[in-house]
């Protein structure tokens, strides 16, 4: 277990911005540097998507995804991997999550 400093959950950021798009949230948070932060977001999203697909990481929601001071996303809470899920019901069918905000 490790503490990840200087991060906020995507859920928190969306709530504080009155559920604006993630793009608008990044513009507000990162100001003139928002385009660079979006590039960091895209690169980290691509990496996590591959890992999420390969290891079948489940339970991905906005409270399990952090944003750091540079715009990178950081996934936390890997308690449901491969076939492990609450009650082993296999509650997620998608190989990885790609929300409208992420696109």
**CA of 66: how far to CAs of 9, 38, 87, 88, 90, in Å?**
4, 14, 26, 26, 24
Q: Tell me, what's the pLDDT at 52?
A: 80
Is the pLDDT at 76 greater than 70? The verdict is: yes
> pLDDT grade, residue 86 (50/70/90)?
low
**Predicted TM-score (pTM) above 0.85:** no
pLDDT reading at 102 higher than 70: yes
* Cβ atoms within 10 Å, residue 19: 9
| Residues written for the chain | 103
């Amino acid at each position: 277990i490790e503490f990840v400093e200087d991060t906020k959950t995507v859920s928190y950021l969306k709530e504080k911005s009155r559920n604006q798009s993630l793009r608008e949230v990044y513009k507000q948070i990162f100001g003139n540097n928002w385009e660079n932060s979006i590039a960091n977001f895209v690169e980290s999203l691509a990496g996590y998507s591959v890992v999420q697909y390969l290891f079948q990481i489940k339970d991905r929601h906005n409270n399990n995804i952090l944003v750091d001071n540079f715009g990178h996303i950081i996934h936390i809470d890997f308690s449901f991997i491969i076939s492990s899920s609450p009650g082993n019901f296999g509650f997620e069918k998608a190989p990885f999550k790609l929300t409208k905000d992420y696109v």
